[in-house]
Each structure stands twice: as C-alpha cells, then as structure tokens.
Structure 1
Amino acid sequence: MILFYMMKKELIQFFRNKSNVIILFVFPILLITCLGFALKDVMEEGSPDIFNDVKVLYNIEEISSYSGAFHSFMKDVNNNLDISFQSINNTEEAKEKVDSGYAVAFITISNKGYDYYRTKNRETIEGKVFRNVFEQFIDNYALIGIEEKNHSFIDNKSFENYNDSAIREESMGLRGINSFEYYTFAELALIMLYVSTSISETVYDEKYSSTINRIRISKANSVQLIISKAFVGVIIGVLQSIEVYIYSSIVLKTNWGENIWLMFAILACLSVFSSILGIVIGLATKDGKSMNSILNIIIISLCMFGGCYFPISMLKSMPIIQEIIVFTPLYWVNSALMSVSSGIKSNYAAISIALSLGLSIILVLGYVVVRWLKRGKTIG
C-alpha cells in the first residue's frame, strides 16, 4: 500500500512540473518532424546515391558451397543495389583496378572461404558499406555451415531470404526506410534517455529536502523508493511511445510494422534503463551541476554512437566507430526497432531488451557495492 502511494505521489509531482511535460512530450514531436523534413532528400526511400554504378571484381577458384552462396549473394545484390560484379582471373590486375578506383573490392572464393581485397588508398563510403554487407553475409553463412554439417543441406532459397534481409538491414538510413521512419525511432529513443534527467532531479530534490527524512522514518524502504522512481520513468516512456506512435502513424505515415507489441517492449525496457540511470546518478552525485553534467555526457555519447544523430549504416562504415557502437544500448535499440518495423528477422530485439535490463541491474548493484565499500548506509 505504501508503494502505491509513493508511485501516486511521484506521478503527481512530475505532471505538476510544466517544463517536464513540455520537454518530454512536446519536444519529441517537434524533433522528429524537423529532422524528418530536414533529411528527407538525403534519406529518401528508393533514391539513394551511395551506390552509383559500383563495380566489384571476383574470382571463384573452386566450386564449393561458398561459391553457390556467393552466386546467390550476387543475384540479390544486383536486384537491390546498383552494384555490378565482374569475374577476373588475374589477381594482380584485379588489385590494381581496386587501387585505381575502378572497383571497390576484389573477392576470391575458395572451398575454405573467401579473401577480401580493398584499396590501399582511402576506402570510399560505397566500399565500406558494401564490405559490411558482404562480411555480414559471409559471417552468417559460416554459422549456417556449422548447422549444415549437423542437419540437412541449406537450399538456395534460405540464402536468398537471408541476403535480402542483410541488404535491407545494412542499408538502413540509406535505402531501407525513409527519413521520417528512421528519425521517428531514433529520436524517440533519444528523448526517452532524457527521462533520466527528470528522474535524477526528483532524486536529488529528495536528498536535499525534508521529504527524504519523512521517507526514512516511515515504513518505506530503499527498494520501494527506487521502484516508485523507476515506475514514473517507465510510465513516461510508455506514454511517449503511444504519443509518437499515434502522431507518426497518422501525420507522418510512419510504418511501425506488424509486431507493435515487441516494439513497445523494446522501448519499455529502454525506459527502465533510463530511469535507473537517473536514479543512480541522482543518488551518487553531491551537487546538481555535477549530476546534470554527468548525465548530459552519458546521454550525448550514447546517442552519438547509437544512431540518433547519424544513420547507423554510416556509423558502421567508419573505422573504430564500428567497433564502439556495439557496446552502446541505443545501437541495439535502434537496430531492433528498425529491423522489427521492416519485418527483418534478427536477434536485435532480444539483445536490446537483455542489454537494457542487464545494464539497469548492473547500475543498481554497482552503486550498492560502492556504498558498501565506503561503509555507507542503504541506497535510500
């Protein structure tokens, strides 16, 4: 019963603050609309300029399961992207053509796998994106090959289905979806992270007011305090998701796909992470300026490497950056939202949900351990 009243109190306090309501419920609509129109020409569906008469050289040394898969891959790439494949037997000549810019890559296929040669000079964006598409395909085929040994053969149709998904998924932000669809999901995730700032402010206010003293002398405990704060954050996140869903579907004609409940589950788990982040930072910092500075640095970094400012496909084509983004929850959240809305079968949704909830647990446990090491009291 006490927990119910604490949740009720938190909700009332939040909606009394007009600035919170404006920032978390009006700003997402403005942000999505402005970015959608601003980048409409860059990300217009079906009209990207990134692949314009791109050439790829290849040589199949031996007929094998890899060569069959590669032929299927070439067929699907030709059907989806403006890329042409040319067979060449002279390895040195092929490498010279790649270095001169005539082709973006030279691929050698054997029964052991493949060898991918790219230019010694600065690799173009087209080359980087194509390399990501191909490597994603070949890595998946390696896993399929293991299953093939233990079960039955994998027919060409399964490769075609995978290739189509890989191409659509890798080109998100360039081909797979339009600007309104991309930034509906990306900016909703961004603004949901800012829920942490509102939650942290309430925690900070509790610490330096008589409210926290009343909570401590009441029957309420630390766990109830955390749950009540996190509850408000989750409610805000769900309401934001519903608001953006209605607006984007009716006004912007955004396609959320068929699995709406999975989309909302991904966003709800992100709101849990955002709330716990705000609670922990609010409890751990000693002054308001430090709290806001730390949260802003964390949020901007997560959004930058998570695809909220730049398309994911662009980030995945950048050296070093492509290694960093896989450690950020927003990368998996945005990838999951886009893959689910596009009907692409992947494990992004499971990873994003597990990562959001896992990081939430780690944050709480980390704070508890630090307090214990410092011989502090309970979280409350």
Structure 2
Amino acid sequence: MTTAPTAPGRLGEAIEPALIQRYLAELDSWLRTRKDELDELDRAALAAGRGEEVASDMSLTLAMWQAIHDRYQLVFATWDGGRVLQQERERISALIWGRLDGASGMPGGLAVSLPEACRLNDALTGQLRTKLALAHDATEQVARIRELRAQLERIRDQVGLEPATTRDKSVNTLAGLMARLEQVSDRAERGADVGGMLGPIEIEATTFERDLIVGNARRRDARSKVISARELRADLEAREQAVEKLAAQCVATVDTAPRYAVPDVEALGPVPVTPDEIDDYLQRLDRVSQALEFAQHKYADALAQHTDLVALLDAYVAKARAQGVADSPDLVESERQARAVLARTPAPMSVAQQLVATYQTWLQKETAQ
C-alpha cells in the first residue's frame, strides 16, 4: 500500500519552490494510486459479498480522499507552474498546513491539516485492506511488516503531540505494538507463517493512529471557538486566492467559461471575540467555505473538459498511426484545425468538440476502406 508524501515547510513559512514542486508531484501520484487502491478494495468487497459490511468505512475514506484532492487542486492552481513569489509560497503553506474544514467533505467537520488528512486516509485504507485480507503470501508478509514499521514511526511522531496527562498511556501502547511487531518479525525471519499474527497488530495500530490524529485535531478545535474561527478564516483567505487563480486560468483556457463570483473573505470583517457574536460568524465562514468549494469544482470541471478533449484527440491520432492512415491529407488537415482551435486562449469549446468529432469521422472513413 502506498503512503502519503511528507509535506514540506510549516504554517506561516514561505516554502522553497523546489520543495513545493516535488510535493505536488508526489501528492498527485499518491492521489492517483490511492484512488486505484480504493477502487480495488471496493471491487474486492463486492466480489466477496462484503460490500455492506465495509460501506461506511469506504464512504468515509473516499470522502476524505475527495477533500484531499480538492485541496491539491487549490495548491496546484496557486503554484501556477512555478510562477510564485513569496506571497504565493506563503499561501501554499497555509493551504497545506491550514485546516480542511467540514464544507470540503471532511467527516463531522473534523479540523485537520492536509498532511494529517493524508495520514488518516493511509490509516483508513490500511484498515480496509486488513479487513478484507487481500493477500497472505511470504512476499506480502515482508511488505506488511515494513509498512507496519513505517506506521509505528508515524505514530511515534503523533504521540509526541499528546498532552502530558495522556502521553504515558500512549507511549505504553506504542511500546506494546513495537514489541509485538518485533516478535512477529523474528518469527518471519525464521520462516514462520505470521499472516494471522499481523492482522490484529495492523488493526490495532491503525485504530491507534486514527485516534491520535483525531484526538489531536479535536483538542486544537476545542481550545476556543475564536481560535477555530481564526484558523478557518486564514484557510479561507488562502483558498479565495487559489480559487481566483483557478478561475483566471479557466477563463483564459476555455470559452465559454463558468462565471461564478469568488466570495470576498475580507467582507466578513474581523473575527469577533464575544460569545454572542462568534457562533454567527462561524456560520458565515461556513457559508463562504461552501461557496468557494462550489466555485472551485465548477472551474476545475471546465478546465478538465479541455484537458480531456486534448487527450481524446491524442488517442484518435494514435489510433490513426497504428492503422497507418495518419498521413492521409484529410486527417492531417483535420488534426491541424482541431489542435489550432484547442491551442487558442481561450479555446471555443463547442467548435473544438466539433473539430475533434470531425477527425473521428474522417478516421472511421479511412479505416473502413
């Protein structure tokens, strides 16, 4: 099972461009691989007649994946191909290390950062895989032991964030898991089949890691509604800038582009500090968050249509080459016209769709001869 990449920087820091670029590439790869893993688990559950048994866990894991994917889109839009000054790099830091709020699909309004959400998704996916017990051979056992070691190291870091009143208990739990894993590892090195012993440790470690992440997030959120409002507002400000950049990219790329207003977070005014005002302010923040999410999805979908149309034309051209008809004058001219229109800024999508369809029609005619 793949694990989420390590996020660079920290909140309030202008992250170095090279680190942002590497993280985006690694996060994109992780998102794609994780989606494939979840699809595999879903198919396995249905094939085994256990779809209802894992439905709630699967829904939660997919919702969290979607929230992470949405935040990746905003970071990628702010990155803008590397055209980032200090201000943009600080916004990216806020998008990575700020909170993912409930309006973005996080369960129960859970306030976690992007790296925490990724680790939590890793833990939930591991729990699903363990429940379904997809593999048990010796090679898989070695991989599972290695993944458990990595998970326990993540847990060690998380334990360090526990308050003094509960840290000793968490340390003892971690020590117990590590001791049991060492015993299993020793047996595996001697050639024993330890598949049945790994399952319980994996489940306990996943539950423990999940509880630590959730507990830490809830402690942060419970400090004060004012602190929570300030965190959410800071995140919304970063998201507002990212959605504005995404909207600008969409308007410059496709015609006709969606036209949705991006909410102005500044218009909400400063965060109030009185108990009778803070609840109403939090509700207004949540409405702005939902509006930002709606606008983000509309602009991202419009950009995706352009990307998909280019990919469709590429596929048709590849088929024409495979059939040995790509040099046909009609196909060459049809491709030239389609690519010319798709390369416009903005590209008239209705015309581009017709031209790609025209290329497909010529291809069908040439291959039918």
Task: With the length of structure 2 as denominator, give the TM-score of the two structures.
Answer: 0.24
Higher-helix-fraction structure: 2
Q: Which fold has the larger relative contact order, with Cα–Cα distance below 8 Å and residues 6 or more apart in sequence?
A: 1
TM-score, reference length from structure 1: 0.24
